[in-house]
Structure 1
């Protein structure tokens, strides 16, 4: 799962814990690249120098028009660091109402475009240097130097709470003269059109937004029996949001809409963004009346649940598992009691998809240590034959690999970054296999694309035929391509959403066809789904959609636990793997006071959840504080 990343300008609201963390560790702050001093010469020269320092590339290899993200693997956190360093060296103002220029620097995609923007703002009065964001720790050359705090995660669940009634007493004043687009047809659209017209508003009903038209409000009417609406409806939302509407509502429950609207609400604070879900059987007239009331409701809840006489929201609430679930029952908390409660032993078989790397691999190790069960791993990384070149084999960090590859003759940054990613992925997979074997588990890795339904079904059937059983599955595949909605293409949205959701669906369908399927299925989600996050509307929606898949699978047979776990950000696992928490992201979190999940405590928490958690809780959140 991807943590909430840099595309955000503001952190989600904090989550408080009633109980003190079990353990607290402080990681040393990742090293900050040394500053070479302000450069003389053109703005572009300074920009190239700073990018070179932050990426490890010689300046002569950084073409001005290279795409920072696609060619140099510069994520949004690193772009923010580059912008901060440029502000320091060039004396750009970063405080008060003049932040816009600096913010634009973080969005620029090439060195040339950064240089052009700098030239546009360089005439401002120079300040003493870039100021840290509110709540950030000490800064050195624009980089937060606070030390990340690593803790045991708290367990939270989404629970309903009462909202103030929405009384549309001022509806006529607020809606008169406004233009609304109603996506969808039928009795609800007709009833809503009548009500809006009576209030002096103008309503247009269509299946997609008319080209070039702007509206004050969008109401997306989701039919109860409609197929999944995301990601297909995303282009319509993007088009309407580009016009800065006052209202964007969805009426009806659909997989992923909650996470999507939570993120829309964060990206568009001046827009009332809300998905409204009604109890089944609500009459069209009543539904239309409620929607008009929601347009004028005083609160900004992104998810509202409607039933006769009630209006409710959802919020994360901390709920423990009791003494046994909090501490475990095995010697030194080794997970043996939990494994026994789950029926796992050395004859059991557990499949992890996306499980040979990152935190999923860490959970595989927890399973192996607790039960010595058979571990089957699916991943996208194909393992190559033969030994690494000695010069490459001697390189460990990304920087060392970059230097070795450059010394070996590679000169195209995009190719170098792809090669580094492949080498690191292969190394991590091999290290996982060695570790699981050392813990006493039989383990096998297969390069399987989770989106290839035929390949997934074939591999699952082979595993079941060979062992006569499959006791549990864990799904953790996914990609992130963080961008604000205004900048995110439908193709990118589709790719992020489908990789997560379609892959999970393929796996659950495959194990559902087995004569004796698994007792538990765990889907790895993200806290972005429950809180929303700027720049992650696709990822938040996809992880939210996992809840529907897991709950449906659990209800499809007796004795099944379908569980979606929405994780907060994890600390590096300590085995050379940073997962998705890069050193830049760790500094960013530390500067914002966001704590990270201790890997050992995180995997132990999941094992306890599976063993002792209520089967009725089909989705939980595990996160450290600071959110």
Structure 2
């Protein structure tokens, strides 16, 4: 049996809940439990909590104790309330939701990691329903001017490989790196062009979220350009899935720090503005809420986002972590999961989020969700 005790310290973002949930999934024969006690709990209260947990017959990866009680955390299905279901509710196209969330042509939204993947899908949705001004931040370098003639005519990964090989490149690793870089730059360009075609003003900033000074400078530049910043969507992160027994410390640290350290830098930067955003959405993963085999680092990182968002929140602004289930790939953007995870989900009967419905569900949450709710799970099926 594996038992750990953590004090519930205000503002802590350890990610231990997500980690222990993944431990429980990777080691089904091991009872792994994180026992959370109040920050001011004395030795006797901690000892009593440990004894109680050792005597428990259920298998809970996370339990909260205090005042002589023990409780587990459970996901609870919750609707968006009467406002969303009646006269002011969704019309299905997202226009009413965008208006209720304060997104109009003058609004400014910063999307971090938002020029590719599912965040680009959300950017397209808010552009189509509000024409708001969009600022994109990502680490993909996008060369100025037209694409190199060596690769411009190569439409896919195989054609790009052949083009680089014809140019004299011999290292397979270097070829793959260059191919991925070209495809990523194309996706960023396509996103920017698509958003402009939908009527939004768009700028792209090439910034590493772990470069705190660059993040702060970019956020200040955005605010200086527009005189406002209405919302933030943070979706930066990396995935390096491996079972715990095979996971190098450096890999765990890289996955956790990219997600959590980057989010902290962005929230600190927008929090320092004279007039900051009304909402900050942090893209988490259902792995953080329920754990997942091979994703202990990713689960821990996405769990830690919850506390960052909760700590950032005030009565005037809402920090919301959305733990997404897996997304299906779209015509223009990929999903959130690797091919291996896709096969695993299919074998377990887990459905994928529709790429059109996902962004609309987030808009509905921003429009009609309770402001005191700081973490939610969206998925297409049970887990």
Instruction: Give RMSD over aligned pairs.
Output: 2.3
1:452 is aligned to 211
Which whole-Å deviations, capped at 9, do the CAs of 1:557-616 have from their partners, x for residues lacking one? x310110000011011221x2244455654443343221100110000000100100011
Counterpart secondary structure, 2:313: helix
> For structure 2, which runs of at least 5 residues remain unmatched after alignment?
none
1:91 is aligned to none
Which whole-Å deviations, capped at 9, do the CAs of 1:295-353 have from their partners, x for residues lacking one? 23211100111123422111222112146536995885222211211222111111011
1:569 is aligned to 326
Which among 463, 467, 484 is matched to residue 222 of structure 2?
Answer: 463
2:252 is aligned to 493
Deviation at 1:486, TM superposition (A): 1.1
For 2:191 and 2:216, locate their aligned partners in 1 and report how far apart those are by CA, in whole Å. 24
> For structure 1, which runs of at least 5 residues remain unmatched after alignment?
1-216, 229-253
The 5 A counterparts of 1:308-319 are 308-319=67-78
For 1:407 and 1:583, locate their aligned partners in 2 and report how far apart those are by CA, in whole Å. 29
1:600 is aligned to 356
Which whole-Å deviations, capped at 9, do the CAs of 1:507-534 have from their partners, x for residues lacking one? 0100111111100000000000011011
Structure 1 residues 609 and 473, CA, compared in 2 at 3 Å: closer, same or farther? same
Structure 1 residues 511 and 389, CA, compared in 2 at 3 Å: closer, same or farther? closer
Does 1:473 find its partner at 2:221? no
The 5 A counterparts of 1:95-494 are 220-222=4-6, 255-322=14-81, 325=84, 333-390=92-149, 392-494=151-253
Which whole-Å deviations, capped at 9, do the CAs of 1:471-515 have from their partners, x for residues lacking one? 011100000111111111111111110000010000010011111
4+ runs deviating over 6 angstroms: none
Structure 1 residues 330 and 288, CA, compared in 2 at 3 Å: closer, same or farther? closer
For 2:8 and 2:40, locate their aligned partners in 1 and report how far apart those are by CA, in whole Å. 10
Per the normalisation by structure 1, the TM-score is: 0.58
Q: Is the 8 A contact 1:357 1:579 kept in 2?
A: no
Structure 1 residues 596 and 329, CA, compared in 2 at 3 Å: closer, same or farther? farther
For 1:594 and 1:515, locate their aligned partners in 2 and report how far apart those are by CA, in whole Å. 44
Does 1:560 find its partner at 2:317? yes
Structure 1 residues 512 and 331, CA, compared in 2 at 3 Å: closer, same or farther? closer
Which whole-Å deviations, capped at 9, do the CAs of 1:10-64 have from their partners, x for residues lacking one? xxxxxxxxxxxxxxxxxxxxxxxxxxxxxxxxxxxxxxxxxxxxxxxxxxxxxxx
Deviation at 1:395, TM superposition (A): 2.7
Q: Is the 8 A contact 1:328 1:337 kept in 2?
A: no
For 1:399 and 1:615, locate their aligned partners in 2 and report how far apart those are by CA, in whole Å. 48
Does 1:617 find its partner at 2:376? no
Structure 1 residues 421 and 523, CA, compared in 2 at 3 Å: closer, same or farther? same
